Amino acid sequence: METKDKKLVNMDLKQYGMFLILIGIFILFAITTQGANAKPVNINNLIMQNGYVVILAIGMLLCVLTGNIDLGVGSVVAVTGSVAGIIMIDLKMNMWVAILAALAVGILTGLFAGFFIAYLSIPPFVVTLATMLMGRGLTYTLLQAQTKGPFDESYNFIGAGFLPTLKVPFGDGTLDVVSILVALIASIALIVSEFKSYATKKKYNFAVNPIWQIALKLAIMLFIIWFFFYKLARNNGLPFVLLIMVILIAVYAFITSKTVAGRQIYALGGNRKAANLSGIDTNKVFFWVYVNMGLLSSIAGIVLAARNGSATPKAGDGFEMDAIASCYIGGAAVAGGAGTIVGAVVGAFIMGILNNGMSLMGWSTDIQKIVKGAVLLAAVTLDVLSKRKKG
């Protein structure tokens, strides 16, 4: 029982650590930028600019859980955005036709990669490297090195629009009551969920954390919720892309933690031979994981094109690296079989805060890449060393 308690505490402390690192990095840049990164407009930009990275990180986590990655997601983002742009600008068709076509292209890409990986046993690294090269080449071919735009405002709303607001005078500006109400609902739901989980574990004599640790975890998460939502309330309210992110996070957190499909992914990543012996069709699991990655890449492509108001040949360049880094920084195991959706999302925002803070400080993109590479290496090194100590 003592061993289980220790494992539970270590696991939770690792989760607390991610949130503390998130807060610590944000405070560091708040000091170095004289509070520029904490302004309401910058918080809004932080969410909008990282929406597509969060979406990709959610899908990438499933690949990482199997012990693999997908290098082609950035190119799929570019291809799907270009398809949407061509349909709307060149063919003058409805935006819903463009969205459906973009989603179809993403799914087809996932089917293509999944077939080679799952049923021809080609290593995922090789297959997704091929889709990265083919996708980028196809993007340039479709766009002829041109930018397609500007898009209609109704389409741009997906990536740059805001949900309805109810603003009231507050201080030297206004406050969106809707944002505050959402923060209140999210806080209540978080507290109820945490104590419901605690009561269930107690009922069945499972290992539980001390009340002070639960209170600390809640305090950290509530602080983050209220800080971000208050800043959004002081700007233009809730971005539409935030709604997309919340829905995807909720759906995939449920899939990975509460469904048979989710448990099969963890089993595959933990030990493929054991998973096969237990009756799991690991080829099928591999297949749908990469089809899902294609779908989420297309959603990210739609959001990015809507945010930019156009489709460009360079869209999605390097996104695969941010998505992969988000998973590892968020606590996913290099060997697979361990990681959470929430962790990947926190990792994505850590990357986003790093990008945003370094940009506000005027650092060049070259220096930013060095810093992000160092952060990724540190996260993976800590994971590997911790595994060796346990072994």
CA distances from 196 to 78, 167, 183, 255 (A): 43, 34, 20, 20
Nearest to 298 by CA among 108, 137, 113, 102: 102
Give the distance between the most distant pair of CA atoms in the chain.
66
Domain ranges of the chain: 49-158+239-390
Cβ pair 201, 1 in contact under 8 A? no
Quote the pLDDT of residue 14. Answer: 58
pLDDT, mean of residues 255-261: 89
Proportion of the chain above pLDDT 70, given as a percent = 94
pTM of the predicted model as reported, rounded to 2 decimal places: 0.89
Percent of the chain with pLDDT over 90: 47
Q: Is the distance from CB of 57 to CB of 328 less than 8 angstroms?
A: no
Q: Where does the pLDDT of residue 9 fall: very low under 50, low under 70, confident under 90, or very high at 90 and above?
A: very low
* Mean pLDDT, residues 223-247 taken together: 93
Mean pLDDT in residue range 202-231? 85
Q: pLDDT digit string (tens) for 192-202?
A: 988 888 888 88
Helix (H) or strand (E) holding 173: strand 173-176
What integer best gives the mean pLDDT of the chain?
A: 87
What's the pLDDT score for residue 1? Answer: 42
Distance CA 64, CA 256 (A): 13
Average pLDDT of span 246-266: 90
| The listed CATH number (1.10.15, 2.60.40, 1.10.3470, 1.10.3110) that belongs to domain 49-158+239-390 | 1.10.3470
Residue 354 pLDDT > 50, yes or no?
A: yes
Q: DSSP letter at 120?
A: S
Whether the pLDDT of residue 391 is over 80: the answer is no
Token look-up 């959603």 returns 299
Q: Is a pLDDT exceeding 70 seen at residue 10?
A: no
What pLDDT band is residue 161 in, cutting at 50, 70 and 90? very high
Contact 136, 122 (CB under 8 A): no
Average pLDDT over residues 163-190: 92
CA nearest to 261, candidates 230, 234, 292, 224: 292
| Phi-psi region at 292: left, alpha or beta (left = phi > 0; alpha = psi -120 to 50) | alpha
Sequence-distant (6+) residues with CB within 8 A of 187 are 222, 225, 226
Mean pLDDT of 104-131: 93
| Between 204 and 48, the higher pLDDT residue | 48
| pLDDT reading at 2 higher than 80 | no
What phi and psi values does residue 271 have, to the nearest 5 degrees? -165, 105
List, for residues 275-297, the tens digit of each pLDDT value. Answer: 888 888 888 999 999 999 999 99
pLDDT digits (tens, 9 = 90+) for 24-71: 889 999 999 888 888 999 999 999 988 999 999 999 999 999 888 899
Q: What is the pLDDT of residue 193?
A: 87
CB < 8 Å & 24+ apart, contacts of 200-209 = 207/1, 207/4, 207/5, 207/7, 207/8, 208/8, 209/8, 209/9, 209/12
Asked whether residue 255 carries a pLDDT value surpassing 70, the answer given is yes
State the pLDDT at residue 335.
67
Q: Which helix (H) or strand (E) holds 17?
A: helix 2-32
Closest CA to 12 of 273, 317, 331: 331
